[in-house]
Structure 1
Amino acid sequence: MATAVRAPGYLEGLDAETFDLTAYLARFDAKLLAEPEGRRVLTRLDPLLFALVYVRHHLRDSEGRMTFGDAHLDWCRAARAWVKPATTPAEQRDAYVAPRNMGKSTWWFLILPLWAAAHGHVRFAAAFASSATQAETHLGTFKREIDGNELLRRDFLDLCTPAKRPSGGNVADTQNMYIARNGFVFAARGIDSSNLGMKVGETRPDLILCDDIEPDESSYSIELARKRRVTLIDSILPLNVYARVVISGTVTMPGSIVHQLVKHGRGVETAEWVREEGFRAHYTPPIVQRSDGTERSVWPAKWPLAYLKSIEHTRSFAKNYANDPMGADGELWTPDDFRYPEPPGPLENLGGLDGADRVDPVTGLDPVTHMMLSIDPAVTAKKGSDYTGIAVVSWSAQHKRCTVHAAVGLKIQPGPLLRERVLALLDEYPQIGLVLIEVNQGGDTWQAILHGMPVKVKTVTQSENKFTRAEGVLNHYQRGRVIHARRLVEVEQQMCAFPKAPHDDLVDAVGSAVRRFIPNKQREVSKASSASYL
C-alpha cells in the first residue's frame, strides 16, 4: 500500500509539458486497481487517479484522447487540501481563473466533489451558479453519473443510493438537492436565491462551490456586479465560515468579481473585499513562458501554441483565454487603437550626427523632447471612491507623437503617500519636466502637497465633459499620434470599457497629458513650444 501514499506526490511540480500519463499510471499496482478495496485505497488521496479510474469518459476529447493542461493538475493538487477539514475560519478560500473551455465546470462541479464525497472528505457541498437552471444542470450531471456509472456504484454504493425515509421515499433526490445514503448532501442554487441558513439537520455546507456566478457582459453591469458581490459576502460565505470555498470562472467584463480576482492573482491590484475575505487567487494564463524565455501552450493538446499566437491579438483571446477583458460595451476605444513601438532597423539607429534623434535600438522608443507626469486625483481613499490615476507621457518633436510609458491607478489619499510616489516616479523617469494635476477645485491644496518638487507643478481645470475630452484623445490614438511603450493592461482596459468602466482615472490622466502636448487648436503640432508645454 506504500504506492498509495507516494503516488499523489508525483504531481508536485509537474505541468502539462512535463506530465507523462503513461508514467503516472505505471506507478500503481494493476492488481490493486482490479479490486474495489484497492481502488478505494489508491484513490483516497489522489483525485487525478480517481478521475482516471471512475470518470475517464469525461476526460476524453472527440478523438478519444486523454490529455491535460496545467490547470487540471493544479486543481487536483489543490483539492487534496480537502482531506483535512479547516480548523480556523476562512482558512480555505480560493479562486481559480483559467481560459474558457478549460473544463472548469467538469472538474469543480463533478469530478472533484465526486471524489471528495466518495471518500468522505466532504459531507455537504453547496454549489452556486449564475442562475438556478445552470446550477441544477450541474447537479443533474452529478446525479446521472452516480445513477449510471457501474464501477462507481460497485465501489461506492452508499454514495450512489439516495437516503430513504421510513416510508420508503427518498429523503431528497430533486433538481436542486441530493442526499445520499452515506449522508452526503449536494445542493445546487442560483446565486441570487435565498440561501441564508441552508443546512440539513445540524449539518451545514463544508464545501461551497461558485462556478461562473456572473452572466455574460451583455446582461451584466457594474451595479449588478456590486450586488452579486454583496450576495457572495453577506449570504453565501456565512453559510459556514469553516467551509472550503472555491470560486471558478472566466472574466465576463471589466470590474467584475472574477476580474478583480484575476488582478489579485496576477499581483496587479487587490480589492479590499478580496483581502478582507481571505481569498487566494490562482490565475492560469493561456501562454506560459518557460524559464529560458520561450513560450508554450497551457494545454498543448487542445490549443497548440501556433494557434494561440495566431489569435493573440484579438479581443476574444484577451477576454476568453487571457481573462483580460477589453470592454465589449465600450463606446470609443477598441484593442486595434493601441500601437506599440517596433524595434528599429539599422538605418533608423543612425539618427543625426549627434545621435540626439535616435530611437532606442532595443525598444524602438522615440527620442524624448518633453516628458510629464499627469495625475488625476481621487479626493479620498475610501472604499467607494475612485482611484488616483498617474501616467507618465512623453512628446517627441521628431516623430510628432506622444508615448505613454506608464499608467497606474492607486487607492491613495492626497497627502504624504502620494508625494512619495510622485518623487519615486521622478527618480525613475528623470526626463520628466512637469507634474500636471487635473482638478476642478483645491488647486492650493495640491500646491501644498507637492511643494518643493524638483520640477514644475501645474494644475489644470477641465471645462469640457469627460466624453468629449475622451473623443478628442481617441482621435489622436487613431491617427497614430499616441503610442504605448508596451502593453499597458490597466489603462487599455479602462479605455476599451469607457464610459462604462468602473473607473476612468487612467483615461483622464493619460488624456490630460496628451491634450497638453497636442492642443486642440488648429495649428501644426510641430510648432508646440516649450512655453506651451510648461
Structure 2
Amino acid sequence: MLFSKDELNAFLEQSQTKYQDEGYSKADITKLTRRDFGIWLDDLKTDLKEQILSNSLLDPKGKKDRVLKAEFDFEYFARTYFPHYFSIDGACALHKDLSATFEKISSSKSGDKYAYAAPRGHAKTTYCSQLFPLWCICFNKKKFIVEISDSVELVEACLEAIKTELEDNANLKMDFPNVCGISKNWKIGEFISKNGVKLKAFGSGKRLRGIKYGVYRPDLAILDDLENDTNVRSKEQRDKLEAWLDEAVLNLGSVDGSLDVLYIGTILHTDSVLARKLKLKFWNAKKYQSIIEYPKRMDLWEEWSNIYKNVSRDASDEYYIRRKSLMDEGSVVLWQEALNILKLMQKRAENLKSFNKEQQNDPRSETQIFTKESLHFYKELPKIDYFVMYIDPAGEKKKSDYTAITVLGVDKKEAKIYIAESIVAVMKTKKTIKEIIRLHQVYKCRVLAIETNGGQEFFRGWIRDKAFDLGVKLPLKGVNNVANKGLRIEELEVPIDDGEILFHKSQTLLISQLLEYPEAKNDDAPDSLAGAYSLTKLAKNRARRRL
C-alpha cells in the first residue's frame, strides 16, 4: 500500500488549503489537487521500485516448479514474488483466512460474497487490493476486476502499486513474461495487463451500471473501506450506501452469477453497512479483533495504564517488564509479531474509543448503554420456579415488521432471571399464535402479556380463541404501554450490569440489538425483554397475594 487513508486525507487537505489560500476557484482547486496527487503518486512509486529492486533474484532453473506451485497456493505466490511486503514475520489468522478465500474464489466458477471486518494495520489492503489482483492477473483467474473504496484515490494507488510490480519486478518478469510490462491502456485508475486482464478503480457511491470491458462484465469486485468516519454517522447515508451496494455493485456481473464480491473494512459504526453485512450468513462473514483474548490480570494493566498516562512511558515500561509474565498471561493477539499485547494496550490507554473501533471492530457510541462486558451468561437452565412470556406483535403503526417474544425463567432462591427464549422474526398472525401457544405448552408460563398499543387488542382475542379451541389454559393479559420505550429499555441497565438477568450465547439478535442500542436499526428484542422483565415483578406480586 503506497499510503494510508490518514496520509491521503492529510495530503488532500494540505493541497486544497494551499490553493484556497491562493484564491483559486473550486474547479481549479480540484484540477490542481489532482495534478499534485499524480506527482505524489510518482514519488511513492519510485520508493516502491527501490524496494522491489532490493529483492534477491530467483534461480531461473526453478521457474517451472515455482509457477506450478504458485498457481494454486496464494501464500506461496505472494511471499515468493513480493517479499518486500513481508518484512514482519509470524502467522496471522486474518492472512491465512484471506488466502484460503482467494483460493476458493479462484477455483470456483460460481460467484459468491465475502465480508471481512479487519483491524487497522493488519495489511488487509495489501492482501486484498494488491496481491490478490496480481495473482488473478498472472494466472488469468479473472478477466475484469473493479476496486472500490470510499476515496477513489486509495484504490487508484493500489492499481499504481500493481502496475509498478508488473513494470519493475524482475522475478515476476522472469516467471511471467507474457504478463509483465506496459500495455496500451496504462493510466491512473485504469489499466489492461499484457495478457488482457482489466482493472478499474471507483469511488463508493459512483455510477457503475452497465460497465463493460469489451464483451466482459466484471467478475471480481473488491470493496475496500467503503465508509468513512463522517458519512457513517448519518443513517440516511448508511441506507443510501447499502442501497447502492445491493443494487449497483451486486448487479455488476454477468447473468450467469460468476461475480465474486470481496468486501473488507473496519467497522466504524454499530449500524455501518459492513456491520449489517456481517450479520448475513450468505455474505460468508468474519470479524477479527487485534486482541482475541484479554489478559487475566487486567487489574495490573489498569495500574500500568495510570502510570503510562500520568507518569511516563519509561516508568510504565519498567512496571511491565517486572510483571511481564503475569501481565501477559491469558492474552491472545491476532498478529503477535506486528502488534504484541504491550503495543495494543498502549493504543488502548491512549484512546479507548478509537481502540475499540479501529483495533477491535467494536465501535461504541457515546450514548451506548449496554456493553459486552456488562452481559452475564448461562450454559443450561437451572431449576426454575416460574416462567413469564411477553409478546410484542408487529403492527401497522409500528416502524418494525418484526414480532418479538421473550420468555424469562425466575430462580427465586438465587434471585436470578434467565432468558429462556428470545424470538424476533417476521411472522404472520397464524404463525405467531401457534408459536405463543407452543412456548406456553413448553414453559407453562405463570403469566403472559401482549402489547395492545396501536390497535392490537383484537390480537389478544384471537390468541385466546385459538388456545380455547386447543384446550390450552392461557393466563394472557393485555398491556397498553404508556411509558416511553427508551426509558423502559434503559431500566434494564442495572439488572443486566448486576447479573440479575442472564443471557444464552445463542441469543445473538437480542445481544446485538442491546449492544447497538440506542442507535440500532431495530430494538424489538430489547423492548420485548423490558416488557418480560416487568412481568417477573408482577408475577412475584401475584404469588405473594396468593400466599
| Fold-level similarity (TM above 0.5) | yes
Unaligned ranges ≥5, structure 1: 1-29, 165-170, 266-278, 289-293, 342-361, 520-524
User: In 1, distance between residues paired with 2:410 and 2:68?
Assistant: 68
User: In 1, distance between residues paired with 2:225 and 2:173?
Assistant: 29
Report the secondary structure of 1:181's partner residue. coil
Identity of aligned residues (%): 22
User: In 1, distance between residues paired with 2:525 and 2:429?
Assistant: 16
Counterpart of 2:34 in structure 1 is none
Counterpart of 1:412 in structure 2 is 427
Report the secondary structure of 1:469's partner residue. helix
Counterpart of 2:73 in structure 1 is 46
TM-score by length of 1: 0.70
User: In 2, distance between residues paired with 1:422 and 1:308?
Assistant: 48
User: In 2, distance between residues paired with 1:315 and 1:375?
Assistant: 36
Q: 1:319: Cα distance to partner?
A: 6.0
Structure-to-structure mapping, 1:371-520, within 5 angstroms: 371-379=387-395, 385-398=400-413, 400=415, 402-415=417-430, 417-426=431-440, 428=442, 430=443, 432-440=445-453, 441-449=455-463, 451-452=466-467, 453-478=472-497, 480=498, 482-487=500-505, 488-518=507-537
Counterpart of 2:85 in structure 1 is 58
Counterpart of 1:107 in structure 2 is 127
Counterpart of 2:166 in structure 1 is 146
Shift of the 82–397 alpha-carbon distance from structure 1 to 2, 3 Å rule, reads closer
Q: 1:461: Cα distance to partner?
A: 0.9
Task: Pick from 328, 332, 343 the counterpart of residue 365 of structure 2.
Answer: 328
Structure-to-structure mapping, 1:294-333, within 5 angstroms: 325=362, 327-328=364-365, 330-333=367-370
Higher helix share: 2
Counterpart of 1:172 in structure 2 is 186
Contact 1:128–1:213 (Cα < 8 Å) also in 2: yes
Cα displacement string for residues 191-250 of structure 1 (whole angstroms, at most 9, x for unaligned residues): 211222222344332221112223348733443232222211221222223322222334
Counterpart of 1:92 in structure 2 is 111
User: In 1, distance between residues paired with 2:372 and 2:508?
Assistant: 11
RMSD over equivalenced CA pairs, Å: 4.0
1:370 aligns with 2:386: yes
Q: 1:517: Cα distance to partner?
A: 3.2
User: In 1, distance between residues paired with 2:438 and 2:123?
Assistant: 44
Report the secondary structure of 1:432's partner residue. coil
Cα displacement string for residues 227-284 of structure 1 (whole angstroms, at most 9, x for unaligned residues): 222211221222223322222334333343333333234xxxxxxxxxxxxx441425
Q: 1:121: Cα distance to partner?
A: 1.5
Shift of the 421–136 alpha-carbon distance from structure 1 to 2, 3 Å rule, reads farther
User: In 1, distance between residues paired with 2:475 and 2:331?
Assistant: 44
Q: Aligned letter for 1:333?
A: F
Deviates more, 1:192-201 or 1:391-400: 391-400
Shift of the 70–475 alpha-carbon distance from structure 1 to 2, 3 Å rule, reads closer
Q: Aligned letter for 2:232?
A: S
Q: 1:48: Cα distance to partner?
A: 1.8
Q: Aligned letter for 2:102?
A: A
Structure-to-structure mapping, 1:123-134, within 5 angstroms: 123-134=143-154
User: In 1, distance between residues paired with 2:344 and 2:65?
Assistant: 42
Q: 1:115: Cα distance to partner?
A: 0.8
Task: Pick from 210, 232, 245 the counterpart of residue 232 of structure 1.
Answer: 245
User: In 2, distance between residues paired with 1:392 and 1:217?
Assistant: 40
Q: 1:83: Cα distance to partner?
A: 4.4
Report the secondary structure of 2:187's partner residue. coil
Q: Aligned letter for 1:45?
A: F
User: In 2, distance between residues paired with 1:147 and 1:37?
Assistant: 21
Counterpart of 1:273 in structure 2 is none
Report the secondary structure of 2:206's partner residue. coil
User: In 1, distance between residues paired with 2:105 and 2:410?
Assistant: 55
Cα displacement string for residues 13-46 of structure 1 (whole angstroms, at most 9, x for unaligned residues): xxxxxxxxxxxxxxxxx99874444433332222
TM-score by length of 2: 0.68
User: In 1, distance between residues paired with 2:544 and 2:143?
Assistant: 72
User: In 2, distance between residues paired with 1:456 and 1:235?
Assistant: 51
- How many correspondences in the alignment? 437
Q: Aligned letter for 1:409?
A: V
Shift of the 408–73 alpha-carbon distance from structure 1 to 2, 3 Å rule, reads same
Q: 1:511: Cα distance to partner?
A: 0.7
Shift of the 334–283 alpha-carbon distance from structure 1 to 2, 3 Å rule, reads closer
User: In 1, distance between residues paired with 2:368 and 2:545?
Assistant: 31
Counterpart of 1:121 in structure 2 is 141
Counterpart of 2:284 in structure 1 is 281
User: In 1, distance between residues paired with 2:231 and 2:206?
Assistant: 21
Q: Aligned letter for 1:466?
A: K
Counterpart of 1:262 in structure 2 is 278
Q: 1:116: Cα distance to partner?
A: 1.0
Q: 1:385: Cα distance to partner?
A: 4.0
Shift of the 484–58 alpha-carbon distance from structure 1 to 2, 3 Å rule, reads same
User: In 1, distance between residues paired with 2:355 and 2:420?
Assistant: 24
Task: Pick from 198, 205, 209 the counterpart of residue 196 of structure 1.
Answer: 209
1:338 aligns with 2:353: no
Counterpart of 1:353 in structure 2 is none
Q: Aligned letter for 1:328?
A: S
Shift of the 335–244 alpha-carbon distance from structure 1 to 2, 3 Å rule, reads closer
Q: 1:54: Cα distance to partner?
A: 0.6
Shift of the 514–319 alpha-carbon distance from structure 1 to 2, 3 Å rule, reads farther
Cα displacement string for residues 339-397 of structure 1 (whole angstroms, at most 9, x for unaligned residues): 457xxxxxxxxxxxxxxxxxxxx87x7864432122222237x9x84322222223444
Structure-to-structure mapping, 1:206-217, within 5 angstroms: 206-216=219-229
Contact 1:326–1:496 (Cα < 8 Å) also in 2: no
1:251 aligns with 2:270: no
Unaligned ranges ≥5, structure 2: 1-56, 294-329
Q: 1:455: Cα distance to partner?
A: 3.8
Shift of the 369–326 alpha-carbon distance from structure 1 to 2, 3 Å rule, reads farther
Contact 1:326–1:493 (Cα < 8 Å) also in 2: no
Cα displacement string for residues 284-310 of structure 1 (whole angstroms, at most 9, x for unaligned residues): 56659xxxxx99766565677999999
Cα displacement string for residues 152-194 of structure 1 (whole angstroms, at most 9, x for unaligned residues): 2333355442322xxxxxx3311x2122333222111112112
Shift of the 302–229 alpha-carbon distance from structure 1 to 2, 3 Å rule, reads same
User: In 1, distance between residues paired with 2:360 and 2:423?
Assistant: 20
Q: Aligned letter for 2:449?
A: L
User: In 2, distance between residues paired with 1:486 and 1:317?
Assistant: 27
User: In 1, distance between residues paired with 2:484 and 2:234?
Assistant: 23
Shift of the 481–111 alpha-carbon distance from structure 1 to 2, 3 Å rule, reads closer
Contact 1:253–1:326 (Cα < 8 Å) also in 2: yes
